[in-house]
Structure 1
Amino acid sequence: MKTNPLVCICVPNYNNEKTLSQTLDSLVNQTYPNIIIKVFDNASTDGSIEILRAYEAKYPYLHVIQNETNIGGEANFTKCIENMEGDYSAVYHSDDLYLPQMVESQVDFLENHLDCVAVSTHAQTIDGNSTLTGERYLPDEYTHQKFKIFDDEIALLKTTLKHGNIITCPSVMARCDVYKNKIAFWNGKEYLTSADLDVWLRLASYGKFAFLTTALMQYRVSESSYSYNLARIRVDRGDIFLVLDAYIDRYKNALEKSDFVHYKFQKFKDNLSVMLNRMILGKPHKGYTIDILDWDLFILALSGRLHAKIYIYGWIAKILSWVDFLPVGRYLLKWKRFGK
């Protein structure tokens, strides 16, 4: 076991001048002593590069790599992976905040769990003003555990079918040799905005994947963030199903009936979200039907409050669709958030 193994933190950035300084401050103030920070600026057109150069001049372990032209988000993530070094590596985001003990906690865990190839953490949520708004979804069965270990990609896939993607993208630290030489690239071409889930599943195929239930970072969910607006106005099937469908096809013989029922519920929830968005925006929604009479979904809805809540919203949406979505329904559903 090394003393203070080197950690390489890669940060892709594009036009995040409003949050960049806060993010960098949270990284340079980590309690872990042996880190190198590489920021990959994707040809920002705001004041990002001036901020980055100022930090680069102040902190000798912080390096800025500036793309001459915008190569796209996924290609910039791949560039991060290609330029990793040291013992452990992570791709953190330039609009999120990282609690001082985050890197130290992740390194300590990986050093003491040599069979784990990667570790992620739970996350709090903040708004555009960095005000704490809550926490990301944490399955009830994890709340009394310090960590959860997924033995392989099948175990992580089963959890994703049941709960959705619980891994916060900028919370993952992995062994550098695996990340750089085995994972190698971010497959945005095939999996679009859910390419991160593919990376986690691929990492889990090389060793155990851990999830720390302590919130060690603050994930920004604001009206200006890409992920927020994507979820709010999305009118087509979620990209996560590109990943789930591919991995279900690959591992279908290792899955059980309950896994397929959970997958069915994930599709129900996604179709409901798309259906509501389309109704709110006045778009046709006939291609996104929800089967509220499905017996498996009804039984699953009885298993917990979250499933029941979504199932009830399904009934409401179905009734409103029958009456051509009354204006009062549009007003209420426009402000209603459901699920996790």
Structure 2
Amino acid sequence: MPTSPLLTTVIPTYRRPQLLRRAILSAIEQDGVEVCVRVCDNASGDGTREVVAGLAAEHPQVAYHCHPQNVGAVANFAFGVRDIQTPFFSLLSDDDYLLPQFYQRALAGLAANPRAMFWVGTTLNVDADGRIWDARMDRWPRDGMYLQPEGAMAMTAGMAPTWIGIVFRREVLEQLDFLDPETLGPSDLDYTLRLAARFPFVVERVPVAVFTLNASSISATQPMAAFWPGWLRMFQKVPRYEGLTDADRDRLLAALKADARRMLFRRGVHALAAGRRDFAREAATALARDCSRRLPAMALRALAGACEHIPGVQSALSWGYRKAEMRIVASRGGLQQRYGHLLRDP
């Protein structure tokens, strides 16, 4: 007699049918856990429906819904978590995939820690050439239970876990609002931080998922208007976070603002290396206006002007930036040796 599924994998998708197939298979092939997969198609209008139908014919636990029109990424994720009936759920993007034994490890960890509302493993950040750029959770200080405020603070300084490597208890959907559409690009970070500020969670630094660094993805190409207002909204919300003292909220807000300043400058330099001078100037404006960081803003503007008016500066900057990226990858060669065998082809 078939057993009831324990976990729902929510996979929003838009026009990536072949990568979607890999994502779905990585969920339904999880050993030792009965899974149902919920695919939410943002009106792709390509071969997505046929790919999912073919998999569903072999795996009846795969369900498919296609919106009549594109509702946007945040609304599609929100639709996916409606009325989840299983005790646990996870969120998976269509171009990412899960590694074997993820769900088994996560559910065992949550069973051993009944106070924990979610479980976090290590997500590998991998580019299109199969190079592992980062395994962020490996740099966390320890495994085990994280309480407030330690858990939320551990997610600052660029160390927030990628949510595809998290298994949540269904109760979090009942006790805390899901994604805030007004937070835009960083809505996933906002959600994870709000959870960490309120609930205990468990960390186990083992590889469980692969996040694809895609040059054409929204996160790589989005304009300032798609993410910076979301950061400003996060700043406004932190003083209302439940589960923290006033002093802890102040500390978390200061850390987030420091993260935002670094992120703006880094994205500005990245944009200049790619020839996107208008973006770099917008980042400079935000640094000066919203973060009171005039020197970094002046540096970005000066670089943008030099790239525009002085022959050879743009190509030199682009070359230097690529070299710096390659040095970063080379410095993390141990990740490739440790985890390279886990990667799958598209």
Fold shared by both chains (TM-score > 0.5): yes
Residue aligning to 2:334: none
Residue aligned with 1:157, SS: helix
Q: What displacement does 1:238 show?
A: 3.4
Residue aligned with 1:265, SS: helix
Specify whether residues 13 and 278 from structure 1 end up closer, same or farther in structure 2 by C-alpha distance, changes over 3 A only: closer
Q: Which moved more, 1:240-249 or 1:108-117?
A: 240-249
Residue aligned with 2:155, SS: helix
Q: What displacement does 1:237 show?
A: 6.5
Deviations along 1:123-144, whole A, 9 cap, x unmatched?
1122336x243324347453xx
Residue aligning to 1:271: 264
Deviations along 1:63-116, whole A, 9 cap, x unmatched?
112222222211111111113111111121211111111111111111111110
Query: Structure 2, unaligned stretches of length 5 or more?
Result: 330-346
Specify whether residues 247 and 156 from structure 1 end up closer, same or farther in structure 2 by C-alpha distance, changes over 3 A only: farther
Residue aligning to 1:202: 194
Residue aligning to 2:228: 238
Whole-angstrom CA distance in 2 between matches of 1:59 and 1:258? 48
Q: Which moved more, 1:256-265 or 1:115-124?
A: 256-265
Q: Which moved more, 1:106-115 or 1:168-177?
A: 168-177
Residue aligning to 2:206: 214
How many percent of aligned residue pairs carry the same amino acid?
Answer: 18
Residue aligning to 1:49: 49
Whole-angstrom CA distance in 1 between matches of 2:194 and 2:186? 13
Contact 1:126 1:219 in 2 (8 A): yes
Identify the match of residue 159 of structure 1 among 151, 154, 169.
154
Contact 1:30 1:103 in 2 (8 A): yes
1:149 and 2:145 are equivalent in the alignment: yes
Whole-angstrom CA distance in 1 between matches of 2:85 and 2:306? 57
Residue aligning to 1:109: 109
Q: What displacement does 1:51 show?
A: 0.2
Give aligned pairs, total: 309
Identify the match of residue 314 of structure 2 among 330, 333, 336.
330
Contact 1:41 1:64 in 2 (8 A): yes
Residue aligned with 2:136, SS: coil
Deviations along 1:215-247, whole A, 9 cap, x unmatched?
2111111222222223xx658863562354124
Residue aligned with 2:285, SS: coil
Identify the match of residue 169 of structure 2 among 167, 175, 198.
175
Superposition pairs of residues 33-112 of structure 1, within 5 angstroms: 33-112=33-112
Deviations along 1:23-71, whole A, 9 cap, x unmatched?
1221121112311111112221221110001111110211112222222
Whole-angstrom CA distance in 1 between matches of 2:101 and 2:211? 16
Residue aligned with 1:11, SS: strand
Residue aligning to 1:226: 218
1:25 and 2:25 are equivalent in the alignment: yes
Contact 1:238 1:270 in 2 (8 A): no
Residue aligning to 2:121: 121
Residue aligning to 1:250: 240
CA RMSD of superposed structures (Å) = 3.5
Identify the match of residue 287 of structure 1 among 271, 285, 302.
285
Whole-angstrom CA distance in 1 between matches of 2:146 and 2:226? 31
Contact 1:118 1:174 in 2 (8 A): yes
Residue aligned with 1:116, SS: coil
Whole-angstrom CA distance in 1 between matches of 2:311 and 2:135? 31
Q: What displacement does 1:249 show?
A: 2.8
Specify whether residues 160 and 331 from structure 1 end up closer, same or farther in structure 2 by C-alpha distance, changes over 3 A only: farther
Q: What displacement does 1:202 show?
A: 3.3
Residue aligned with 1:82, SS: coil
Specify whether residues 90 and 138 from structure 1 end up closer, same or farther in structure 2 by C-alpha distance, changes over 3 A only: closer
Contact 1:110 1:118 in 2 (8 A): yes
